[in-house]
Structure 1
Amino acid sequence: MYSHQISNEMQGRLQAELKPGEFVKWVGQPEPSRYARQSMVIWVFFIPWTAFAIFWMAAASGFRFPNFHSGWDAFPLFGLPFVLVGLAGLSSPIWMRMRAQYILYAITDQRALSISGKTTIKVMTYLPKDLGTIERVERADGYGNLILQSSVYHDSDGDRRTKMQGFMAIADVRKVQTLLEEMLQSNAPKQ
């Protein structure tokens, strides 16, 4: 039922979510380095952001080190929040790798589950009646994503965005899709 790579803490979280009589058909976690790749677009954005913020601070200071004894101008410090935001953005792959340890996906005989979080636990339940089209994105090595739900929304600028939820960066994605489809068929209403 469980992979030897899943921590006792995460196994305990799954057990706490199971209903009486419900059994697990598959459980897995995202592969950390592949999960972190989701943040690469934002990471690339923060390279010029951070470089520009550092350049701006250097230019605002006249390309000199501050001399705090001679009435140094504090104007260059206005760039410091932008540098800090840039450094946080550049570290996003590290945070995503760490976050992957606290994500667990499961398929039971009744539903699919996604459990995530370290201190605040978020549980997404995908019941058979709520699942429509399942989208599989598979790479040549068998890793990929199973998109179980997607929703379209408009961000604060009015730009159209799509939020995708499901099992991300998992091994043997085709096998997992087959198990999910079998669960859906076994829970389909009898005619």
Structure 2
Amino acid sequence: MNKLTTQLQKIVNDELAPHERVLWAGQPVAKRVAMAAFKLWLFFIPWTALTLFMFKEVYETSEGEFIPQVFLIPFILIGVWMLLTPIRKWFNARKIVYVVTNKRVMTIEANRQINIQSIEADKISILEKKMYSDGAGDLILSKEIYHHKTRAGNRDRDRHRVTEKIRKKGLFAVPNVKLVEDSIRTMLRENRS
């Protein structure tokens, strides 16, 4: 296992079934997870700046009236909350463990409660790799198409407007993605024989 905290190592060991062994375990690159969230800043920097400007203008022109200012406070809080998203994502990534065993691939999230998602070897439908220049990357293990109700889009048989979305399951922002891919291929070979 790659440099996991004692608490995370215990969670991984407790989750293993008899005769199941770890081929690879590690955590996502927290910096890469946080960087993906910076795209939100393109929207929320102007959002927050505009709401702060509006708050200042309302404060200066309201002549002691408090109601218009109270109306803007939730918009300011939303902006600040969204600007903090990369930091929240960075901290959350430090609580995620990816585990490849000889039988399955697990994603363990150890926040207030422990969430474990497993993909058994026979359920892995694809092995799609996206690699970055630093060797980190994403491994997509399955894709699921689902329908999302919306105001635009095609109609389903019940005449609801829906759009098709793809939910990707896999390991995201893993360090040394080639090593992890090799571990998954080893697991798949072992389970075919």
Instruction: Provide TM-score, normalisation by structure 2.
Output: 0.86
Q: Gaps spanning 5+ residues in structure 2: where?
A: 151-161
Q: Is contact 1:35-1:97 (8 Å) kept?
A: yes
Paired letter, 2:99: A
Q: Which range moves more in the overlay, 8-17 or 161-170?
A: 161-170
Q: How does 1:55-94 map to 2 (within 5 A)?
A: 55-61=53-59, 63=60, 71-94=64-87
Alignment CA distance shift 1:160-1:48 (3 Å): farther
3-state SS, counterpart of residue 26 of structure 1:
strand
- Select 2:88's aligned residue among 86, 95, 118: 95
Alignment of 1:14-163 (within 5 A): 14-61=12-59, 63=60, 71-155=64-148, 157=150, 158=162, 160-163=164-167
Change (3 A) 1:118 1:107: same
Q: Answer whether contact 1:110 1:187 (CA < 8 A) is retained.
A: yes
CA distance in structure 1 between the aligned counterparts of 2:149 and 2:76, rounded to whole angstroms: 24
The letter for the 1-side match of 2:179 is: K
The answer to which structure has the higher strand fraction is: 2
Q: Which amino acid aligns with 1:137?
A: K
In the superposition, relative to structure 1, how do residues 138 and 90 fare at CA in structure 2: closer, same or farther (>3 Å)?
same
Superposed CA deviations along residues 76-118 of structure 1, whole A, max 9, x for unmatched, are: 2201101101100000010011001110001111111110131
Q: CA deviation at 1:186?
A: 1.2
- Equivalenced residue count is 182
- Partner residue of 1:186 out of 166, 182, 190: 190
On the 8 A contact 1:43/1:93 being kept in 2, the answer is no
Cα RMSD of the aligned pairs, angstroms, is 1.9
Displacement over 4 Å in runs of 4+: none
What TM-score, normalized by structure 1, do the two folds share? 0.87
Whole-angstrom CA distance in 1 between matches of 2:133 and 2:34: 18
Shift of 1:37: 1.8
Identity of aligned residues (%): 29
Structure-2 change in CA distance of 1:55 and 1:150 (3 Å): farther
Measured after TM superposition, the shift of residue 160 of structure 1 is: 4.5
Deviation of residue 156 (structure 1)?
Answer: 5.4
- Aligned 8 A contact 1:111 1:125 in 2: yes
Tell me the CA shift for residue 122 of structure 1. Answer: 1.0
2:82 alignment partner, SS class: helix
Q: Which runs of 5+ in 1 are unaligned?
A: none
